[in-house]
Amino acid sequence: MQSYPLKKVPESYEKVLEDAAIEPVMLTSESQQSFVIMSVTNYEQLVKRVVELEDCVFGQLAQANLNNSQMLGSEVFTAELQRLASFDTNDKSHGET
């Protein structure tokens, strides 16, 4: 990554922009990183990658939460419903006799 002192940008802005078209350019002020200049294409790629990484992290968190969930699984839930339904059926048949 190219780096330019902020004070020198006015006199060399064409070179700074040429470099920024290829890769991000760091601008410094008193030897401290102050700004980054980059092309719109590079910026859009960066934003797209951040969104992809966020989606990946959120997906991993959702999977971890699902794995650690205390909720009944669908098989257990279905079996319990069937068991309860059989009580209802047994109660009706006992009441008829």
Class of domain 1-38: alpha beta
* DSSP-assigned letters across all residues of 14-42: HHHHHHHHHS-EEEEETTEEEEEE--HHH
Q: State the pLDDT at residue 90.
A: 59
Domain ranges of the chain: 1-38, 40-97
What is the value of pTM for the model shown?
0.57
CA–CA dist 75, 60 (Å, integer): 24
CB 23 within 8 A of CB 2: yes
pLDDT for the residue numbered 86: 80
End-to-end CA distance of the chain: 88
More confident call, 65 vs 92 = 65
